[in-house]
Amino acid sequence: MKNCEYQQIDPRALSVSPSSAQNHTEKKAQRPRRKWEVFPGKNRFFCDGRIILARQSGVLPLTLGLIVVTCGLFFAFDCPFLVEHLTVFIPVIGGVLFVFVVISLLRTSFTDPGILPRATPDEAADIEKQIDTSGSSTYRPPPRTKEILINQQVVKLKYCFTCKMFRPPRTSHCSLCDNCVERFDHHCPWVGNCVGKRNYRFFYSFIISLSFLTSFIFGCVITHITLLIDDMVMLSCLDSSLCTVVELVICFFSIWSILGLSGFHTYLVASNLTTNEDIKGSWSSKRGAEDSGNPYSYNSIMTNCCVTLCGPMPPSLIDRRGLLPPDEATPAASASDIELPLFAAKNDTHMVG
């Protein structure tokens, strides 16, 4: 028994055990990494990659704060008076609109707008081989384009030097997020995200519902002030009157911009255009093109609205919660696998002896 115990504690085996134990510990310490942890764009991720935001999203809390404060003042000071003098449905309508606005805002902010994954090194090298005709590795050619036909109209596809690919139709590279976004509309700091193919419907529902909410609160505030003046109780309710005036000022200066923005995007939806295309005048006759019509329009307002807002939700292409292949962990694992059987073989030999 003593001989067996002595032979088990072999100095040669102990010389191997520290490295094998270290490799075994490192193998246990390694956890599977997800793709959002090494995402190349300028985005921030939360909840293990389920929520995506632009890196510069500091205006989003201001947007949410303005909505919450304005509605809080409305529910605290206007609703009790209006329920007593008019109807109980006023806070109900305001509450429904408020919930819809907040949900639409969060869906717009936390949804992948349609980011396209960048080309892999093999794909980028293949594209470079196809389009490189200069014969020099240091020469950078002028902006590269491809031409395709969409509804019998020529559309140019531009090459993105950052993502190393030709952008699909209606795709643009956002300089703030450093991503190519499908059906790129614009980057909105108020929602802290790009607005594109996958979250435009939420953005449109946000601004439309916000227009209704702002108009509703503005009308209720005017009614509240009018009833107070008629009852001659303005001075006796000074605190309530000051809060009502604050609401009136906020609504007055925000309602015009919100209504204008809603009207502009309603025009874009009816025409099947994006803000980016409208600003650049991509399909405008002012550019002097012979065929300057919008190739994406269905020539029907109803069809354009249904395609833009009611179409199927496309899946996210970046797979931000997918697991990375364990390429870096493979050498350490193989080393430990080689050393551990040797250690076990030595122990078995001494036990037999």
What would the pLDDT profile of 55-77 be if each residue is shown by its tens digit? 888 889 999 999 999 899 889 88
pLDDT of residue 193: 93
Compare 254 and 183 and report the one with higher pLDDT: 183
List the structure tokens of 54: 């632009």
| pLDDT tier at 333, thresholds 50, 70, 90 | very low
pLDDT of the residue at 143: 57
pLDDT of residue 101: 96
29: pLDDT strictly greater than 70 = no
* pLDDT higher than 80, residue 116: yes
Whether 188 is catalytic? yes
Classify strands 172-174 and 179-181 as parallel, antiparallel or unpaired.
antiparallel
Give the residue-averaged pLDDT of 135-153: 70
Catalytic residue among 79, 177, 180, 188: 188
More confident residue, 131 or 212: 212
pLDDT tens-digit readout, 188-204: 999 999 999 999 999 99
User: What gap in Å lies between CA 254 and CA 218, rounded to an integer?
Assistant: 10
**Interval 314-329: pLDDT, tens:** 999 988 888 887 764 3
Q: Is the pLDDT of residue 297 over 80?
A: yes
pLDDT(304) > 70: yes
Confidence category of residue 13, pLDDT binned at 50, 70, 90: very low
For residue 257, is pLDDT > 50? yes
Number of H helices, E strands in the chain: 11, 9
Is the Cβ–Cβ distance between 87 and 181 less than 8 Å? no
pLDDT for the residue 351: 41
pLDDT of res. 180: 94
Quote the radius of gyration of the chain (alpha carbons, Å).
Answer: 31
